[in-house]
């Protein structure tokens, strides 16, 4: 396999009226996991955010919790399911 060239990755402005949801989940060596997310508007300003300790679980389980949190955000009308 040939090495791939480095690629620049950056934030691209959103269309006016859109928001972007960044989410993540992680578990430490003690298996205490946390999930969180942030909503930013079309000029990258913070709109809403959250974080939650979900207790003892694996990294994979924390990622499932993260997806559950996205579902809650949809149900609360914070984000659209069509995104």
Condensed to tens digits (0 to 9), the pLDDT of residues 2-31 reads: 777 777 667 677 888 888 888 888 888 888
Q: Residue 25 falls within a domain, yes or no?
A: yes
Mean pLDDT of 27-37: 83
User: What's the confidence (pLDDT) of residue 83?
Assistant: 44
Number of domains in the chain: 1
pLDDT of 56 above 80:
yes
pTM for this model (two decimals): 0.59
Of 62, 67, 52, 64, whose CA–CA distance to 21 is shortest? 67
Residue 15 in any domain: the answer is no
| Domain around 61 | 20-75
Give the residue, 48 or 72, on which the prediction is more confident: 48
Distances (CA, A) of 24 to 6, 17, 21, 40, 66: 24, 24, 10, 15, 6
Q: How does strand 32-40 pair with strand 20-27?
A: antiparallel
Domain assignment present for residue 67? The answer is: yes
Residue 56 lies in a domain: yes
Q: For residue 4, is it within any domain?
A: no
- Could you tell me which of 23, 12, 18 has the C-alpha nearest to residue 67? 23
């Amino acid at each position: 396999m040939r090495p791939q060239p480095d690629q620049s990755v950056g934030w691209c402005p959103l269309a006016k009226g859109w928001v972007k949801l960044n989410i993540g989940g992680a578990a430490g060596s003690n298996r205490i996991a946390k999930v969180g997310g942030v909503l930013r508007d079309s000029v990258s300003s913070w709109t809403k955010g959250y974080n939650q300790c979900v207790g003892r679980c694996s990294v994979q389980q924390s990622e499932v919790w993260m997806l559950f949190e996205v579902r809650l955000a949809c149900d609360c009308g914070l984000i659209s399911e069509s995104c």
